[in-house]
Amino acid sequence: MMNQYMQLIALLELSITCAVVLNILLQKLFQMEFPFAARVALVLLLGNIFFWPLGMSLELPLSAYVRGVTGDLSIVTMLLLWGALLPSPKKTPLEFKAPIALIAIMFYPLALGFGMLDPYAWGYGSIGLLTCVVAFAILCGLAGWTKGVWILSVAIIAWAAHWHESANLWDYLLDPFLAIWALFAIPSAIYLKRREKAQSGYLFRAG
Amino acid sequence: MSRVIAFCFLLLASVLGYLHIDSRPAWVPFVGGDSVENIQGSEELRDPMETSKPVKDLKNASPAKPTQPSLRMDWLPDTGAPSVHAASLIALRDGAVRAFWFAGSREGAPDVVINTAVFDPQAARWSAPTVVMDRVSAEKGLSRYIAKLGNPVPARMADGRMQLFFVTVSIGGWAGSSISTVISDDEGLTWGQPQRLISSPLINLSTLVKSPAILFADGRLGLPAYHEWIGRFGEFLRIEANQVIDKRRMSSGRGAIQPVVFVDGVQDASAFFRQTRSSSQLKQIPVSETRDAGQSWVASKDLEIPNPNSALAALTLANGTRLMVLNNIDAGRYRLVMVIRESNSPQWKAIQVLEDDESLANDQRREFSYPYLVSASGADAHLAYTWDRKKIRHIYFSANWFKHASNSLKEKEAQ
C-alpha cells in the first residue's frame, strides 16, 4: 500500500516537474515572462497531461516514460525548478552553484568506481554527511539565500521520511541534472561578468 | 524574520535526520558458513534423488572409478523461446528446487520474460513453466518505462518468504541496468508488486545481480551485486525487504564483476569474481576478502584458475566442502568444469568436466555459461547453466556422487 502511494507521489512530482520545465522552455522560446496566473494554469494543464494515462498505444502515463530515463529527481532539483513558478523568482546564487559543481566533480567519479572510497555509501546513515549538509544550509542562510535553507531542510526531512524509493541522503540532495546545471553555471557566470566589465569599460572609455 | 523561521525549520530537519540515522540498524555479523537459498533445506540431510529413476547419464561423466554413481541431467522446460539465459535456483521447503531463467527471441529483446518451474526430486521431473515477470507487468508495477528484463536471482528471507531480485533496463544496454525485487509468500506460486532498489547515484544506472545472497545475523540480506559501465566492480548491498540500507565496494576499477561469496566465518568471507580485465592482464579469478562481515573488502591474490570473462557459480556444502562451476579456459566458454575444495584443504581441484567442445573447430564450439549452484539437502547439489543459449541444462549431484568423487580424487593423489 505504502509502495503504491510512493509510486503515485513520484509520478505526480515528475509530472509537475515536466510541466514546469516545459513552462520555462516556452518562456525562453517566446522570450517573454508569462504572468503568474498563466504559468500556474499552464503547469496544471501540462501536469495533468503527464500524470494521467493517455491510452492509445501508451502503456503508461507520460511521466512514467520520463521516470524510466531520469529516475526520481532529487528534492533539491525539484524544488529549485518548482521555485521558478513563484511570482518573482530570484536567481539561484553562484555561491550555491559553485560548491554543488565542485562536490559533483569529486563525488561522481568516486561513486562510480574510481578507487575503493565510495562517498555514496555515506548517504545511508553518516552523521558526518548530515552535519556537512546542515552546515552548508546554515552558510546559505547566513549568505542571505533563505530559500536554500528551506530546500535543504525539506530534502533532509524527505530522506528521514523515506519519501522516495531511495534510502540514501545523496539521492535527495544531488542528481546529475543538478550537477550539470551547476557546472554550466560557472562558465556562464564568468562570461556574464566579463561582458559586464567590458560594457562598463565602454561607458567610461576616454573620449 | 523569515531567516529565523528558516533556521528553525532547519533545526527540525536536523533533529529528524539525526533520529533517522540513530534508528538505522547496526552492521552485524554473517550467519556463519552458508548462503541464503540453502537455509531452509539444511534441516534435512536426505538425498531424495537417490531412489528416483535416473534421467540420463552425463557425457564424460566419471573419469575415475566404474562404481561412481552417475550424474543425473535433464533440461529446464522448453518455453519455445529461441534464446534462454541466466538460470538460477532456490531450494523449497519440501525438498524441491525452483528455477528461474529469462527467455525470449534474443537476449535483451522486449519480449524477454522471467520464467520459473519447479523440479520434483521424487519424480525427477520439472513442472510446466510459468511467467514470473514480463516487461509490461514490470513497468506497471514499478511505475516507469522498462525496455528489457535480465538476470533473476532468488533468495530466502529470514521470515521464510521468497524474494526474487531481477535486472531491468530502461535505457541503453546492460550498463543501464537497475535491480528490482518481488516477494512471494507461497514459495514462488504468486508474487507481490515489484519494487525498485536504488543503489547508484547516477539516475540509478548500472547495478546488476547474478549471485546468491548471504544472510546476516539480524535476518537482513547481503546481496553481491556489480556495476558494469564506467567502472566494472563488485558491490555488497545490505538489503532490508525492498530497500538498500547500506552498501560497500568489493573491488574497484574495470576488472571484476559478478562476485560470488563464500562465508568463512561470522566476520570473514571471500569473494571470487568474473574477470573483465584488459587483454594485457592476467585472465584469472580476481579475489576480495572481508574480515568485518562485509563492511570493508580488500583485493587479494588472484585464484590461479583461468577465467575467460565468464560467470562462476559457488556453493558450500554442509560438511564445509566448497564447490565452484566455471569455464577454466583463457578464452571462450566451451568448457565447463566443477572444482572442489574440501574443508581441510587449501587447494581447488577439478572434480568433473561437465562440458567440453575443445575438440571441435572454433566456429562449432558451443557456449556453456552462467552456472548456478544450490543444495536442497546440504549434501547434494543442483546445477543449472546456459547450454548454447538455446537451452538450460540441469544436473543433479547426489551426496553419494560427491563421496565417490572425493574418494577417487584422494586415490588419484595417493598414486
What pLDDT, in 10s, does the model give residues B215-250? Answer: 999 999 999 999 998 899 999 999 999 999 999 999
> Which residues 67-106 on chain A approach chain B with CB closer than 8 angstroms?
67-71
**Quick one: A43 and A102 in the same domain?**
no
Average pLDDT over residues B110-116: 97
State whether residue A159 sits within 8 Å of chain B by CB.
yes
Given pLDDT bands bounded at 50, 70 and 90, which one contains residue B409? confident
Question: Can you name the residues that pair with B195 across neighbouring β-strands?
Answer: B181
Between chain A and chain B, how many beta carbons pairs sit less than 8 Å apart?
171
The secondary structure of chain A in percent helix, strand, coil, rounded to multiples of 5, reads 70, 0, 30
Given pLDDT bands bounded at 50, 70 and 90, which one contains residue B35? low
Element (H, E) at B102: strand B97-104
**Quick one: A32 and A126 in the same domain?**
no
Mutate to test the interface with A, among B16, B135, B143, B171 (most CBs of A within 10 A): B143
Q: Cα–Cα distances in Å, from A181 out to A80, A136, B165, B380?
A: 11, 19, 34, 57
Picking from A113, A125, A138, the nearest residue to B252 by CB comes out as A113
Contact A167 B19 (CB under 8 A): no
Domain ranges for chain B: 28-42+56-414
If you measure CA to CA, which chain A residue comes closest to B229? A112
If you measure CA to CA, which chain B residue comes closest to A73? B203
Domain hosting A91: range is 79-207
What does pLDDT average to over chain B?
Answer: 91
Q: Which residues of A touch B227 (CB under 8 A)?
A: 112-113
What pLDDT, in 10s, does the model give residues B80-94? Answer: 999 999 999 999 999
If you measure CA to CA, which chain B residue comes closest to A9? B143
Closest chain B C-alpha to A192 CA, distance in angstroms: 29
| Residue at which a domain ends, from A48, A71, A94 | A71
**Residue B239: half-sphere exposure toward Cβ, Cα within 13 Å:** 33
**Quick one: A207 and A114 in the same domain?**
yes
**Quick one: A32 and A127 in the same domain?**
no
**Quick one: A11 and A84 in the same domain?**
no
If you measure CA to CA, which chain A residue comes closest to B254? A113
Given pLDDT bands bounded at 50, 70 and 90, which one contains residue B54? very low
Mutate to test the interface with B, among A63, A157, A164, A170 (most CBs of B within 10 A): A157
Tell me what ipTM this predicted complex has: 0.91
Closest chain A C-alpha to B315 CA, distance in angstroms: 27
**Quick one: A84 and A65 in the same domain?**
no
Element (H, E) at A83: helix A75-83
If you measure CA to CA, which chain A residue comes closest to B230? A112
Please give the tally of structural domains in chain A.
2
**Quick one: A57 and A91 in the same domain?**
no
Picking from A8, A113, A161, the nearest residue to B231 by CB comes out as A113
Contact A113 B17 (CB under 8 A): no
Which of A8-12, A126-130, A147-151, B60-64 bottoms out in mean pLDDT, i.e. has the lowest? B60-64
Picking from B10, B24, B139, the nearest residue to A153 by CB comes out as B10
| Residue at which a domain ends, from A71, A87, A115 | A71
**Quick one: A66 and A83 in the same domain?**
no
Please give the share of chain B, as a percent, with pLDDT higher than 90. 84
**Quick one: A98 and A121 in the same domain?**
yes
Which of A24-28, A193-197, B153-157 bottoms out in mean pLDDT, i.e. has the lowest? A193-197
The CATH architecture that domain B28-42+56-414 belongs to is: 6 Propeller (2.120)
Residue B401, all three cell numbers: 556422487
Q: Is B349 helix (H, G, I), strand (E, B) or coil?
A: strand
Contact B252 A64 (CB under 8 A): no
| Residue at which a domain ends, from A71, A104, A133 | A71
**Quick one: A198 and A111 in the same domain?**
yes
**Quick one: A66 and A27 in the same domain?**
yes
Average pLDDT over residues B303-330: 96
* Residue A135: φ, ψ to 5°: -60, -40
Question: Can you name the residues that pair with B381 across neighbouring β-strands?
Answer: B397
**Quick one: A27 and A61 in the same domain?**
yes
Q: What is the pLDDT of residue A89?
A: 67
